[in-house]
């Protein structure tokens, strides 16, 4: 049994750790180039100011990243042409793709999982397919998706769909198949009928397990969208990261990592709140 620790203690320690890490980074960082390397004058003329750091991009200091973050967050939703859009817009694109892919996966996985959970026959028949397809990286589907769908945005959504599908499918099937025998017997003795039993007994009984699957799915979907957008390009936070890498804007990449983490946390918390709504205890 762990001792209970007051919240302010752990919060204080976390703040302290952050301060120490950022401080050390601030002091040590930013001196990637000392000017020791000789730069070709013609190259210097081409790259201009960058020549001062000896042709190397210095790793940004926390203060520089902070300043850049402020710059980005002051106007997150601007759109200046296809390649210059605010970070809020990029995240919104990513969220939209995740929502569509995840939503479609839920529409398929929950009813199908219900059927698999209720029917041992179907469960046995579909299990080999699920077991083989489930461990496949969703990105492996990308070329096939691009070839058949011929649209990069829809392909990205398809990849999200595929990766969200399995945890929801398996958890729904498991939740439905492990509904207590006695509750089903109650429904039978009450002559509740198939639909009433499904919606009033099995669904609420399995809901916590289904929500766990949805929570795992949304986490994976948010992981995968970054990689998928790096591949398909155009818009989205993954594309933005890749773009900033091409621009060598390392500060932007650090900021993107931070924001991706925060959005992922929010998505998880959102489903966590829904899970609490449907939770029951005996």
Partner 1 sequence: MTRPYVSIEAVTRAYPGHVVFRDLWFGISRGEFVCLVGHSGCGKTTVLNILAGLDQPDNGGVIVDGQEISGPSLDRAVIFQGHALMPWMTAEQNVAFALSCRHRDWGKAKLRAAAREALEKVGLGHAADRKPSMLSGGMKQRVGIARALALNPKMLLMDEPFSALDALTRGALQDEVARLVAEAQQTAFMITHDVDEAILLADRILLMTNGPDARCAEVVVNTLPKPRDRANLHRLPGYHALRDHILEFLLTRSRTLAGTRPAEWDPRRPPEVFPAGPPTTIPAAA
Chain positions contacting partner 1, by CB under 8 A: 180, 182-183, 185-186, 188-193, 196, 200-201, 204-205, 207, 278, 280-282
What is the closest distance, in whole angstroms, from the C-beta atom of residue 182 to partner 1 in the complex? Answer: 4
Q: Which residue has the tokens 């990849």?
A: 159
d(CA 71, CA 12): 28
Nearer to partner 1, 202 or 230 (CB): 202
What is the closest distance, in whole angstroms, from the C-beta atom of residue 220 to partner 1 in the complex? Answer: 28
What is the closest distance, in whole angstroms, from the C-beta atom of residue 84 to partner 1 in the complex? Answer: 51
> What are the two backbone dihedrals, phi and then psi, of residue 85, each rounded to the nearest 5 degrees?
-130, 150
Nearer to partner 1, 134 or 200 (CB): 200
Closest CA relative to residue 240, chosen from 259, 266, 221:
259
Chain center to CA of 10:
27
Nearer to partner 1, 39 or 201 (CB): 201
What is the closest distance, in whole angstroms, from the C-beta atom of residue 183 to partner 1 in the complex? Answer: 6
Beta-bridge partners for 79 = 85
Tell me if 96 sits within 8 A of 225, measured CB to CB: no
Greatest CA separation found in the chain?
90
Nearer to partner 1, 160 or 202 (CB): 202
Nearer to partner 1, 107 or 190 (CB): 190
What is the closest distance, in whole angstroms, from the C-beta atom of residue 188 to partner 1 in the complex? Answer: 4
Integer-rounded Cα radius of gyration of the chain: 25
Residues found in the chain: 282
What is the closest distance, in whole angstroms, from the C-beta atom of residue 14 to partner 1 in the complex? Answer: 35
DSSP 205-272: HHHHHHHHHHHHHHHHHHHHHHHHHHHH-SSSHHHHHHHHHHTT-HHHHHHHHHHHHHHHHHHHHHHH
Nearer to partner 1, 36 or 273 (CB): 273
Sheet strands (E) in 56-112: none
Query: How far, CA to CA in Å, does 25 sit from each of 36, 66, 149?
Result: 22, 13, 46
Nearer to partner 1, 49 or 189 (CB): 189
What is the closest distance, in whole angstroms, from the C-beta atom of residue 115 to partner 1 in the complex? Answer: 22
Tell me if 70 sits within 8 A of 189, measured CB to CB: no
What is the closest distance, in whole angstroms, from the C-beta atom of residue 202 to partner 1 in the complex? Answer: 11
Nearer to partner 1, 196 or 269 (CB): 196
């Amino acid at each position: 049994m762990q001792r209970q620790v007051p919240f302010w203690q752990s919060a204080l320690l976390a703040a302290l750790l952050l301060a120490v890490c950022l401080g050390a980074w601030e002091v040590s960082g930013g001196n990637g180039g000392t000017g020791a390397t000789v730069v070709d004058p013609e190259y210097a003329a081409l790259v201009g100011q960058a020549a001062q750091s000896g042709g190397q991009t210095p790793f940004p200091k926390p203060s520089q990243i902070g300043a850049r973050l402020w710059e980005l967050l002051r106007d997150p939703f601007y759109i200046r042409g296809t390649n210059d859009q605010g970070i809020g817009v990029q995240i919104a694109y990513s969220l939209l793709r995740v929502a569509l892919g995840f939503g479609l996966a839920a529409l398929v996985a929950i009813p199908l999982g219900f059927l698999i959970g209720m029917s041992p026959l179907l469960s046995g028949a579909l299990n080999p397919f699920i077991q083989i397809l489930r461990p496949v990286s969703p990105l492996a589907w990308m070329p096939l998706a691009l070839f058949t769908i011929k649209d990069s945005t829809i392909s990205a959504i398809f990849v999200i769909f595929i990766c969200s599908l399995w945890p929801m499918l398996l958890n729904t099937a498991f939740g439905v198949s492990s509904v207590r025998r006695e509750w089903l017997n109650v429904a039978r003795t009450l002559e509740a009928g198939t639909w009433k039993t499904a919606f009033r007994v099995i669904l609420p009984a399995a809901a916590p397990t289904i929500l766990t699957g949805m929570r795992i799915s949304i986490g994976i979907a948010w992981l995968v969208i970054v990689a998928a957008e790096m591949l398909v390009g155009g818009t989205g936070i993954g594309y933005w990261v890749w773009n900033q890498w091409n621009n060598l804007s390392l500060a932007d990449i650090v900021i993107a990592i931070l924001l991706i983490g925060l959005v992922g946390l929010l998505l998880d918390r959102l489903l966590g709140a829904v899970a609490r709504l449907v939770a029951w205890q005996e």
